[in-house]
Structure formats: structure tokens, C-alpha cells
Amino acid sequence: MSILITTSHKPSPRTRTFIKELAATLPYAVKTNRGKKTLDDLGLKAYRVGAKYIAVVGERRGNPSIMRIYKLDLSEKWPKTKEIVVFKIKGIKLLRENPLGARVYNPESIGVDYDLCKSDECYNLANTLLAVFNDIIDKDPDVKIYLSERSSIIQFKPVDRLGRICGPLIKFRGVKVIEK
């Protein structure tokens, strides 16, 4: 497993749908309901399912607005979480809202195309994706993530082998790297 995806406490239906679609798009991603779990509880859950990273999606006014990525630190007796990067989300378009979208089933490999990146923030997003999915990067992937930029907005577009959009489209406003 590579990443555990969850929400903040008391998520809206739109945020729950977003993490469900994101977990279905990313290979070996596991979605879990947050409930009253603390970050330490999430770290233990990630350890149990074999995930090395945790993505926590926060919201503002019912829409996803921030995604925090934590890395599991196994150097101590109990698994601890360390925040490594924060993504500020400008907006999303769910797969069900896209008439050209098609769901991908059981993806096993991923690719990241960052040829259209211009800023450090876009490259930081690409580096984070490459670090999280390092073990399953492939030249002919089941899901390919295209990263592009337009006026300081980074677009995240997942497509399947046939070139169809297969997950939520995400627009990022900013990327803040906390720890490399």
C-alpha cells in the first residue's frame, strides 16, 4: 500500500465523495472514515494497512480546501506522523460532474507527467507524487497524472490508458513543503 486517504472531522458529502474518487483513482490507496480518530490513531491505521503516507483533506464551506500529507515515522516504538507538505486546493471537479469522465478499476501503476510545470510549487507537487508512488511508477501506467500551470494555478488531471479523465480534477493554489 502507498497512501491512506481520509478527511478532517465531520466532512461534508462533497468532501467524502472527493476522497472516495481520489482513492479509487490512485493505485493502492486506502480510504478510511476519520470519525474521532486522532493523527496518532491514523498513523496506527496506516501502519496496519501498510501505507507509508497519510493524506488528510480539510474543507471550508463544504468544499475541499487543503490537503496535508504526512509521512509515517517508524523509528520509534509507536508509528508517528510527520507533516511533510501542504497543498492549498482552489477547486475540484468530481468525476461524476464530468460528462467525459470514466472510472478506472483496480489501477496498479501510475505515471506523473510534469512537462508543463513552470514553478517550484508545481515541481514540489510532482516530487511529492513521485515520492509517495515511487514503488509503482511505470512507463505505461494504468493512471497517468498530468500536471500543468496557468497563472499560478496548478492543475492535476488523472487519465487512464485510453486518455479519458478517470478521477477528480484538482486545481491547487499553492504548495508548501514543510520537510523534505
Cα–Cα distance measured from residue 130 to residue 112, given in angstroms and rounded to the nearest whole number: 7
Residue 101 structural domain? 3-177
Q: Quote the pTM value.
A: 0.93
Q: Are 16 and 168 in contact (CB under 8 A)?
A: no
The type of residue at 121 is: E
Q: How far is CA 55 from the centre of its chain?
A: 6
Q: Are 153 and 106 in contact (CB under 8 A)?
A: no
- What domain count does the chain have? 1
Per-residue model confidence as pLDDT tens for the chain (180 residues): 689 999 999 999 999 999 999 999 999 999 999 989 999 999 999 999 999 999 999 999 999 999 999 999 888 888 889 999 999 999 999 999 999 899 999 999 999 999 999 999 999 999 999 999 998 998 899 999 999 999 899 999 999 999 999 999 999 999 999 976
CATH number of the domain to which 139 belongs: 3.40.50.10480
Task: List the beta strands (DSSP E) in the chain.
Answer: 3-7, 29-31, 53-60, 63-73, 80-93, 110-116, 143-150, 153-160, 169-177
Cα–Cα distance measured from residue 125 to residue 136, given in angstroms and rounded to the nearest whole number: 17
